Amino acid sequence: GQQLNQSPQSMFIQEGEDVSMNCTSSSIFNTWLWYKQDPGEGPVLLIALYKAGELTSNGRLTAQFGITRKDSFLNISASIPSDVGIYFCAGQHNAGNMLTFGGGTRLMVKP
Amino acid sequence: NAGVTQTPKFQVLKTGQSMTLQCAQDMNHNSMYWYRQDPGMGLRLIYYSASEGTTDKGEVPNGYNVSRLNKREFSLRLESAAPSQTSVYFCASSEFRVNTEAFFGQGTRLTVV
């Protein structure tokens, strides 16, 4: 069954605000990925993390691989309306293992 | 560059009917996957094919079969559809067997009545 707890489940924010979401696991992952899914589309990879403690940015997005290897965080700065969508974390235990996905965080941005 | 293409985009089936979901990728990826997405459940792996000629069960394989037709194509078959199989189905591919950085299709929304 699902091993990743993603929070919050949904967020409704004002345009321009910063956003934080996270994923936690009861087991260690060696890779963390963050995806975004627009309505009616498939998930698109945003950021990939491969090392504990790693902090990686992609434009206004920043993700961190937690030191304990059991969590990861995604921050979005200065949100804009096109940030609306569902954000998924995904973890991989080891190379060759399958990805485990979190339940998603639904982000809504009010202009 | 089309990436991962799924057909159909929408389908309504009656309980007991069969159908095949088609998936093709043009990125020369070795590995391909079928996921289902249900509200609040994230994506769950149904079957995967690490390389041409091989297929393996994922987390929720019951009620499904797959065929890796060639390197480009990976199909998912429902032999006798059930209402519990109402879901959005995504095909994905990745360059390496490790499944990292998978690219997803646009999804097939299936309703079984």
Q: Which of B58, B101, B106 sits opposite A98 (nearest CB)?
A: B58
**Residue B1's pLDDT band (boundaries 50, 70, 90)?**
low
DSSP B102: -
How many angstroms separate the CA atoms of A43 and B75, rounded? Answer: 19
- Token pair in block for residue A90: 């995904």
pLDDT for residue A96 is more than 70: no
How many angstroms separate the CA atoms of B106 and A43, rounded? Answer: 8
- Residue B103, φ and ψ in degrees, nearest 5: -105, 135
How many angstroms separate the CA atoms of B81 and B66, rounded? Answer: 15
The answer to whether B102 contacts chain A (CB < 8 Å) is yes
Inter-chain contact A42–B45, Cβ cutoff 8 Å? no
The count of other CB atoms within 10 Å of the CB of residue B96 is 13
Lowest mean pLDDT of A22-31, A87-96, B27-36, name the range.
Answer: A87-96
The answer to whether A45 contacts chain B (CB < 8 Å) is yes
Lowest mean pLDDT of A27-31, B4-8, B93-97, name the range.
Answer: B93-97
How many angstroms separate the CA atoms of A78 and B55, rounded? Answer: 44
- Token pair in block for residue B81: 């559809």
Q: What dihedral do alpha carbons A11, A15, A18, A19 form, nearest 10°?
A: 20
Q: Which of B33, B42, B100 sits opposite A31 (nearest CB)?
A: B100
Inter-chain contact A104–B103, Cβ cutoff 8 Å? no
How many angstroms separate the CA atoms of B44 and B69, rounded? Answer: 22
- Token pair in block for residue B36: 């289902």
How much is the average pLDDT of A17-44?
A: 93
Lowest mean pLDDT of A13-22, A56-65, B35-44, B58-67, name the range.
Answer: B35-44
The answer to whether A101 contacts chain B (CB < 8 Å) is yes
How does the average pLDDT of chain B come out, rounded? 91
A96 half-sphere exposure, CB direction, 13 A CA radius: 0
Inter-chain contact A42–B105, Cβ cutoff 8 Å? yes
pLDDT for residue A1 is more than 70: no
Per CB-CB distance under 8 Å, the chain A contacts of B40 are 9, 103-104
Tell me the one-letter amino acid at B41.
M
The answer to whether B58 contacts chain A (CB < 8 Å) is yes
Q: Which of A1, A45, A101 sits opposite B101 (nearest CB)?
A: A45
**pLDDT given at position A94:** 72
**pLDDT given at position A17:** 97
**pLDDT given at position A97:** 67
Inter-chain contact B42–A102, Cβ cutoff 8 Å? yes
- B33-81 pLDDT, tens digit per residue, is 999 999 767 899 999 998 888 999 998 999 999 999 999 999 999 999 9
**What percent of chain B stands above pLDDT 70?**
94
**pLDDT given at position A95:** 62
How many angstroms separate the CA atoms of B22 and B33, rounded? Answer: 12
